[in-house]
Structure 1
Amino acid sequence: MALEVPYRSIPDMFFKRVAATPNGQAFAVPNADDTGMVWHTWAQVGERATAIAAGLRELGVGLEDRVAILSGTRFEWVLADLGINCAGAATTTVYPTTEPEDASYIVADSGSKILIAENAKQALKISGVDTAVTHVVIIDGPADAGATPPQLTLTELEERGAAALRSHPSLISEVVEGIGPDNLATLIYTSGTTGRPKGVQLLHAGWTWEGVAQQGLGLFESTDLQYLWLPLSHSFGKTLLCGIIHVGVPTYVDGRVDKLVDMLAVVKPTLMCAAPRIFEKVYNKTVTTALEGGGAKAKIFHWAVEVGKQKVALEQAGKPLPGALKLKFAVAERLVFSKLQTKLGGRLRVLVSGSAPLSRDIAEFFAAANLPIMEGYGLTESSAANFVNRLDKLKIGTVGLPLGDLECRIDTDGEVLLRGAPVMRGYHNLPKETAEAFTEDGFLRTGDIGELDADGFLRVTDRKKDLVKTSGGKYIAPSAIEGMFKAVCPYTSQAVVIGQARNFVTMLVSLDEDAIKGWAANGPLAGKSYQDICCAPETEKLIDGYIQELNGKLNRWETVKKFAILPRDLSIEAGEITPSMKIKRRSVETNFSEQINQMYAGSLAQI
């Protein structure tokens, strides 16, 4: 059945939200000393977004013109994005971690007329580069009067817009009338694990579809309090904004990832979406703290996790819980799980994971702790949210059921194909790549390998191009093995399986700095630097034990014969992971070729 979307555009959806709940809580920001929140109502957000939109029109921005935002996640990002769309323009998103070369390429390639930069440092990324930018708007700090292109502050842009609205009050409402479902709303450049980023053209029809589709999931309620820290430059962040607007979810916005755990206790959200890396860090911290406690504390922890997993296994099988297990779980919750729940604010109702695969073992751990994670799946090319688990329909190890009326088909080679409203118009200025991205009957080729079960749940096994074929002809799914290892070894930050055209499988491992330093503090490596700990034979022995544990869960041809502990973690700056925490395998293999060659030295590897 077709999903009914009662909006022509994001601005249409937004102004209907403002009219429906003008005094309702919309977005909150941290107060000056991080002890509480400052709320903005929908009416206040509507007024500011309208002023920004009018200011942009005054600077010559028209229908489908691009305006770039180069900033971290913050309330002003939301205002700017809404203002851009209300001006009829399309938002080009740029991560604040993007290097100047890529940032200036995105701004130039998109043809963006205005750049809204977080501060002067971010604005410098397009300095001296030939772009279509006529003005730069600075969010934090003063504008540089002598800069080229000319600069103004976000406050000045709003003031300029407010003045225009005083002489022409219906300016933006008239513009909004002219924005239709097929107009461009966003140009998001895929950070891509290979090559130059491609601009994905996403329309108002797809984003409003996302907003409406999210309401039917039971995951978003107007009574919730959402903690939004995800990069708004990423499609996951944009799709959440659409759900927030349609449903009217009060949302705390704070992109400071280093403050996340501290602020969870202050904000006490009921709803949070995250990439798997956040759940892995919480898992690592919880497990290593229990292990460091030793003795009875560690035994109680392991017992509680075992009881929780028994409960989850029965629930997943649709079987009733025996009375004795219910009693045991109540004890486990009181002694162990309640502490983890409290650390995360004590009120979490829904956790959603997306943007990269979540390890099944880590999903089972959180479900055991009464913090079930609803894993979802989607691509930038299909507006991010395509499949997700529901609270009443959670199948661990899958990415859930499709949203709305999205069509999904599995191709003959196992590739997941998608068709529907949220799928992109195409890649910006890349007709050949656009044609290659679709089947003849209009399905998007996702590049992911997966399968649909009898109930319609999708299981994604790996990226098509990431599948490793050993020299023995066996196919291996790296991300599945990497996810299993992260769950087995609580000291892991990243794991990268190597094996393409090799005669055995190896793994590069980077260690979680906090977790491994905590372990080292109790032995001969106490006080050593992170790099020294990574290189120590004691650490190698520790990780080797976890590799053997992993191998006990794998098929013979998948087992990891050798591993190397990296002297540092993988980083965005070194081009080894994308801002959405996906591994760039080619870059990792290039940057750590010495370690890889050592593991295969003397072998008959076919390279």
Structure 2
Amino acid sequence: MGALSTPPTTALDAFLRQESLQADKSYLIQPMPDGGLVELSWREVGEQARRMAAYLTSLALAPGSKIGLLSKNCAHWIVADLAIWMAGHVSVPLYPNQTADSIKQVLEHSDASAVFIGKLDEWQAMRPGVPGDMPWIGLPLAPADDHIQPWETLLQAHEPLQQLCMPNPDQLATIVYTSGTTGVPKGVMLSFGSMYLSANNGLRLFNISAEDRLLSYLPLSHVAERQFIEIASLLSGQRVYFVNSVASFFEDMRRARPTVFFAAPRIWEHFKAYAQQRHGSAWSQLQMKLPLLSERKSQQVLADLGLDRVRYAVCGAASLPAALCRWFADRGLQIVEAYGMTENCGYSHLGRPKKIKAGYIGLPNPGVECRLTADGEVLVRSRAVMLGYYKDPVRTAEILDEDGFLHTGDLGEIDQEGFLRLTGRAKDIFKTSKGRYVTPAPIEALLLDNPLIADACVVGHDLPQPLALVRLSKHAHESPEQLQRQLDTFLVQVNDGLQRSEQLGCLVVISDEWNVEGGFRTPNQKLKRNVVEATYQAQLHLWLVAGKTIVWQQKAEEPA
């Protein structure tokens, strides 16, 4: 195959190399609903990928056809992606919690010719979004459906493809649709070369080798998980474990014992809540305070979370609250932050464990140039930047300038050493009726540092003063009277640190769920500010002038 004769330049090259070097080594470990485990070696992954590639070739699709991939994370997600590439096509991942309308939108916009369907929780609700005139290819954990062609049946019907389509680095590998925080999702075109560069340099930054272990649980349709788990493992040969379900998450963590781990702030909060539930006794808290016992207790807590072998812990997708970072640091786990976008393969900035600066993300990754516009917008340039938006040259020109810099839309500050601090989103800035501009993100970060608050959205366009809509966390067990007093005191503390024009007129405690199903969040759990503002627009002024510092949302059916 020649896999060892020349250095790899794409993820597919890298897979063939790993297959040659460690054919019988376990690569993908999939927990099954019945409690069992399925382990696939590199040889088995290659065998199945080639057979599925042979089936795709039998469809006589045009070279470079788009193939959808609709599934929760599982071992065969990666096998299917390899098969798509081996057959000379382009993969189009879809979030496994998307609505039928958004699935239809992505498949139609991407001109998909076929779709892989795998592990899903709400298949019947999604099914109307999948066009019936294209092949539906089932992964092994696909839902029961007569229209879905079973994986094993297709494997048995086709011999492994002998002549693989080997792409060049400049070739389109995948179209990753953004999560749509600001409107219609955009199809980000990523090349084989940009994905390889991002993952390969990431391996060097994390000092990752084939002896490392990863746990895949965030959607592989998201660029961070795609690069951090799939592409990185193809390049360096790590073993990849998968999560069976939300309920089994910590059991799966303890099985995998990952050595490198990436999570969004909400997941780190989940870890903390789980630890407090299981290690919140008075004796446990006392042990954490005693010098002779604290280190041992910290290790027990991390082992219970499945984090005791982690040597590199990373947070991305949103800012990590300082209090949460301190909680893990007190237990011996230092979390660093990463910054990137789908449009640059998630490859931009990373914190270094031995060189951390409070309030800053970190330094530019190797090969990344970063600068600020006069208005403070962060611009980055590297070979990891996308080819453009699919079928959208206008928006491509808006975000990629003539010099190749990507306009991130984020506002930031860069210190003398090159450390980057994000201060908000350019489009999120609003002007009050007094003509004062307010950047909500730093204020929201202050609010989210309080363990009582799970979500915060600062609004105030054309209002005399900003206010914050907040949702309480699961830690808020106090009585309404106690919560009122604590939030009152906290609001005073927050406002004391703000300029007068930024001070919050009140906190509005929202009882509604801000979830994906209600349209409040993107499939990767980012809050849609425009939806939040539109939902409560008619009540904002009334809440602000109610004369209360803490306002409790009343449902429409509740008496005023």
- TM-score (normalised: structure 2): 0.88
More helix by share: 1
CA–CA distance in 2 between the matches of 1:543 and 1:560?
Answer: 12
CA–CA distance in 2 between the matches of 1:474 and 1:330?
Answer: 53
CA–CA distance in 2 between the matches of 1:602 and 1:547?
Answer: 16
**DSSP 3-state at the match of 2:303:** helix
Equivalent residue number for residue 106 of structure 1: 106
Check the 8 A contact 1:497/1:506 in 2, yes or no: yes
Task: Report Cα offsets for 1:468-499 as digits up to 9, x if no partner.
Answer: 443444444322222232222x2322111122
Equivalent residue number for residue 528 of structure 1: none
Check the 8 A contact 1:506/1:561 in 2, yes or no: yes
- Aligned pairs for 1:40-119 within 5 A: 40-118=40-118
CA–CA distance in 1 between the matches of 2:443 and 2:207?
Answer: 30
Equivalent residue number for residue 453 of structure 2: 492
How many angstroms does 1:6 deviate by?
Answer: 4.0
CA–CA distance in 2 between the matches of 1:571 and 1:289?
Answer: 27
How many angstroms does 1:24 deviate by?
Answer: 2.7
CA–CA distance in 1 between the matches of 2:21 and 2:434?
Answer: 63
**Is 1:270 the counterpart of 2:232 in the alignment?**
no
**Is 1:445 the counterpart of 2:407 in the alignment?**
yes
CA–CA distance in 1 between the matches of 2:534 and 2:490?
Answer: 26
CA–CA distance in 1 between the matches of 2:273 and 2:33?
Answer: 31
Check the 8 A contact 2:189/2:388 in 1, yes or no: yes
**DSSP 3-state at the match of 1:171:** coil
Check the 8 A contact 2:463/2:541 in 1, yes or no: no
**Is 1:569 the counterpart of 2:513 in the alignment?**
yes
Equivalent residue number for residue 7 of structure 1: 8
> Which of 232, 241, 253 is 2:242 aligned to?
253
Equivalent residue number for residue 229 of structure 1: 217
Which stretch shows the higher mean deviation, 111-120 or 78-87? 111-120
**Is 1:22 the counterpart of 2:23 in the alignment?**
yes
How many angstroms does 1:443 deviate by?
Answer: 0.9
**DSSP 3-state at the match of 2:527:** coil
Check the 8 A contact 2:199/2:232 in 1, yes or no: yes
**Which residue type is aligned with residue 225 of structure 1?**
R
> Which of 163, 169, 180 is 1:171 aligned to?
163
How many angstroms does 1:330 deviate by?
Answer: 5.9
Equivalent residue number for residue 481 of structure 1: 443
Equivalent residue number for residue 460 of structure 1: 422
Which stretch shows the higher mean deviation, 234-243 or 61-70? 61-70
Equivalent residue number for residue 464 of structure 2: 503
CA–CA distance in 2 between the matches of 1:354 and 1:144?
Answer: 37
How many angstroms does 1:228 deviate by?
Answer: 1.5
Check the 8 A contact 1:64/1:183 in 2, yes or no: no
How many angstroms does 1:206 deviate by?
Answer: 0.6
CA–CA distance in 1 between the matches of 2:378 and 2:481?
Answer: 44
Check the 8 A contact 1:437/1:444 in 2, yes or no: yes
CA–CA distance in 2 between the matches of 1:143 and 1:298?
Answer: 48
Check the 8 A contact 1:185/1:203 in 2, yes or no: yes
**DSSP 3-state at the match of 1:113:** strand
**Is 1:180 the counterpart of 2:177 in the alignment?**
no
Check the 8 A contact 1:448/1:462 in 2, yes or no: yes
CA–CA distance in 1 between the matches of 2:426 and 2:211?
Answer: 40
How many angstroms does 1:293 deviate by?
Answer: 4.9
Task: Report Cα offsets for 1:223-260 as digits up to 9, x if no partner.
Answer: 22111211101111111111111121212122633432
Task: Report Cα offsets for 1:549-604 as digits up to 9, x if no partner.
Answer: 4345444443333111111331011111112222111101122335534322369x
Check the 8 A contact 2:100/2:127 in 1, yes or no: yes
Equivalent residue number for residue 161 of structure 1: 158
**Is 1:371 the counterpart of 2:333 in the alignment?**
yes
Check the 8 A contact 2:214/2:256 in 1, yes or no: no
Structure 2 unaligned blocks of 5 or more: 1-5, 548-560
Equivalent residue number for residue 529 of structure 1: none
CA–CA distance in 2 between the matches of 1:595 and 1:349?
Answer: 48
Equivalent residue number for residue 557 of structure 2: none
CA–CA distance in 1 between the matches of 2:123 and 2:520?
Answer: 22
Equivalent residue number for residue 473 of structure 2: 512
Cα distance change, pair 594–512 in 1 and its aligned pair in 2 (3 A): farther
Highest RCO, 1 vs 2 (Cα 8 Å, sep ≥ 6): 1
Matched positions, count: 538
How many angstroms does 1:85 deviate by?
Answer: 1.7
Check the 8 A contact 2:119/2:142 in 1, yes or no: yes
Cα distance change, pair 286–7 in 1 and its aligned pair in 2 (3 A): same
**Which residue type is aligned with residue 547 of structure 1?**
L
CA–CA distance in 2 between the matches of 1:122 and 1:287?
Answer: 35
**Which residue type is aligned with residue 250 of structure 2?**
V
Check the 8 A contact 1:209/1:421 in 2, yes or no: yes
Equivalent residue number for residue 376 of structure 2: 414
Check the 8 A contact 1:218/1:391 in 2, yes or no: no
**Which residue type is aligned with residue 152 of structure 2?**
T
Which stretch shows the higher mean deviation, 428-437 or 257-266? 257-266
Task: Report Cα offsets for 1:78-104 as digits up to 9, x if no partner.
Answer: 111121122221111111211111110
CA–CA distance in 2 between the matches of 1:569 and 1:361?
Answer: 24
Check the 8 A contact 2:123/2:143 in 1, yes or no: no
How many angstroms does 1:425 deviate by?
Answer: 0.8
Which stretch shows the higher mean deviation, 237-246 or 537-546? 537-546
Equivalent residue number for residue 355 of structure 2: 393
Check the 8 A contact 1:211/1:245 in 2, yes or no: no
How many angstroms does 1:381 deviate by?
Answer: 0.8
Which stretch shows the higher mean deviation, 257-266 or 69-78? 257-266
How many angstroms does 1:218 deviate by?
Answer: 2.7
User: Sequence identity, in percent?
Assistant: 30
Cα distance change, pair 363–219 in 1 and its aligned pair in 2 (3 A): farther
How many angstroms does 1:222 deviate by?
Answer: 2.3
Cα distance change, pair 154–598 in 1 and its aligned pair in 2 (3 A): farther
**DSSP 3-state at the match of 2:412:** strand
**DSSP 3-state at the match of 1:257:** coil
CA–CA distance in 1 between the matches of 2:303 and 2:234?
Answer: 29
**What RMSD over aligned residues (CA atoms) do the two structures have, in Å?**
2.8
How many angstroms does 1:66 deviate by?
Answer: 0.6
CA–CA distance in 2 between the matches of 1:487 and 1:496?
Answer: 13
Task: Report Cα offsets for 1:265-301 as digits up to 9, x if no partner.
Answer: 33322221111111123334556888x757x876776
**DSSP 3-state at the match of 2:253:** helix
**Is 1:590 the counterpart of 2:551 in the alignment?**
no
How many angstroms does 1:130 deviate by?
Answer: 6.1
Equivalent residue number for residue 503 of structure 2: 559
CA–CA distance in 1 between the matches of 2:421 and 2:499?
Answer: 20
How many angstroms does 1:435 deviate by?
Answer: 1.0
Cα distance change, pair 209–552 in 1 and its aligned pair in 2 (3 A): same
Check the 8 A contact 1:507/1:560 in 2, yes or no: yes
CA–CA distance in 2 between the matches of 1:13 and 1:85?
Answer: 13
CA–CA distance in 2 between the matches of 1:142 and 1:468?
Answer: 46
Equivalent residue number for residue 533 of structure 1: none
How many angstroms does 1:136 deviate by?
Answer: 0.8
CA–CA distance in 1 between the matches of 2:503 and 2:62?
Answer: 57
Structure 1 unaligned blocks of 5 or more: 305-327, 526-535
CA–CA distance in 2 between the matches of 1:425 and 1:512?
Answer: 40
